[in-house]
Amino acid sequence: MLTIQELKRRLSYFPRLNFSLLPTPCQRLRFVSEKYGVELYCKRDDLTGLAMGGNKSRKLEFLLAEAKERGCDALVACGGVQSNFCRMAASAASLAGMEMHLVLGGGTPKEARGNLLLDQMLGAKIHYVESSEWEDWESEALDLAARLESEGKKVFMMPVGGSVPIGILGYVEAFLEILEEGERLGIEFDHIVHASGSGGTQAGLVVGKELIGWPGRILGISVAMKKEKLEPHVLELASATAALLGGKVSKEAVKVDDRYVGEAYAIPTGRGNRAVELMARREGIILDRVYTGKAMAGLLDYLEQGMLPGGKILFIHTGGQPELFA
Ligand SMILES: Cc1ncc(COP(=O)(O)O)c(C=O)c1O
């Protein structure tokens, strides 16, 4: 077990670019807290500042520093046309003085809206792929990287969602920020709840919990994968990240609930949309429909059923609002 100071010291060995507004604020959700007789707070990672904010900016601080260390001058990332990650990677690359290439799948849209509008504004070079298959986007991105290398560029290939151990360090740090915030508020959280997609955010939180022996629970509400797939994936990512920091994680620390995905990834659900409306109307907070709305729907269902014992809960708002304007 490490002390908080020791974990901070180990994290400080990794190079990092500072382009986010940290620490992000923590806001008490008054209406929901009173309705369910709990203390519910929202950590506003949608306010990290980088090109409209979101969870990816924490990962990108470490990933771009790594790219710089390797002497890269071009960055290639792929995702859907409304990828939050691609939008934020485009911003991080431009701040780091790197050429940004985005391979965006699912066809060429007639009009640039939401994240795509921002990608263009940020100066990213956009390469559209007609296919809707992830494998095709990835192979197009690899071809592009090879072409750029042959033209003399040194390319940094962005991992999916930034979810590799170096990027995940950003969420180990976020976990320490949460503990500090709890101390400032005089509250010891029993649960942290958030949207889990490619698993990096959850892996980072789990590493923080395990390395310092935090007794609370972390619950990832899946927005895409089945629990049977996401739990081992998060465990693998968390184990690799913990190894970078000289520690280990246990299987029991990884908990995913996949009951709020609905039909599929990125297809809004009725209860997700109701959660978005409730948060907008009662708390003044705008969630998105792909990630945070579904995660909040899960959290509200847990509260309804009294499934969060202790009642001191932190929800992480991981961003994603540009999608609302797509
Ligand atoms: C707004 C938002 N929330 C949550 C997530 C999920 O984060 P992770 O991929 O680290 O699980 C993403 C990932 O794209 C996202 O864009």
Domain boundaries, the chain: 4-55+163-325, 56-161
Residue nearest atom 6 in ligand 1 by C-alpha distance: 197
CA distance 21 to 220: 24
Residue nearest atom 7 in ligand 1 by C-alpha distance: 197
Instruction: Tell me how far CA of residue 24 lies from CA of 43, 180, 213, 313, in angstroms.
Output: 7, 12, 23, 17
Inter-residue long-range contacts of 50-53, CB under 8 Å, 24+ positions, other chains counted? 50/19, 50/20, 50/88, 50/91, 50/92, 50/95, 51/87, 51/88, 51/90, 51/91, 51/118, 51/122, 52/87, 52/118, 52/319, 52/321, 52/322, 53/21, 53/319
For 23, the token pair is 């620490």
For 42, the token pair is 């929202």
Instruction: Tell me how far CA of residue 111 lies from CA of 82, 96, 128, 311, 325, in angstroms.
Output: 12, 28, 13, 45, 12
Question: How does residue 211 score in pLDDT terms, banded at 50, 70 and 90?
Answer: very high
- For ligand 1, is residue 322 a contact (CB within 6 Å)? no
Question: Domain 4-55+163-325 adopts which CATH fold?
Answer: Rossmann fold (3.40.50)
For 15, the token pair is 């190079």
DSSP 283: I
CATH code of the region 56-161:
3.40.50.1100
Q: Please determine, for residue 264, whether its predicted confidence score (pLDDT) is greater than 90.
A: yes
Please tell me the predicted confidence (pLDDT) of residue 161: 84
Contact present, 137 and 78 (Cβ < 8 Å)? yes
Question: How does residue 160 score in pLDDT terms, banded at 50, 70 and 90?
Answer: confident
Q: Would you please indicate which residues are annotated as catalytic (active-site) residues?
A: 83
The per-residue pLDDT for range 20-44, each reduced to its tens digit, is 999 999 999 999 999 999 999 999 9
The pTM assigned to this predicted structure is: 0.98
Residue nearest atom 3 in ligand 1 by C-alpha distance: 318
- Do the domains spanning 4-55+163-325 and 56-161 agree at the CATH topology level? yes
From ligand 1's centre to the CA of 151, what distance in Å? Answer: 33
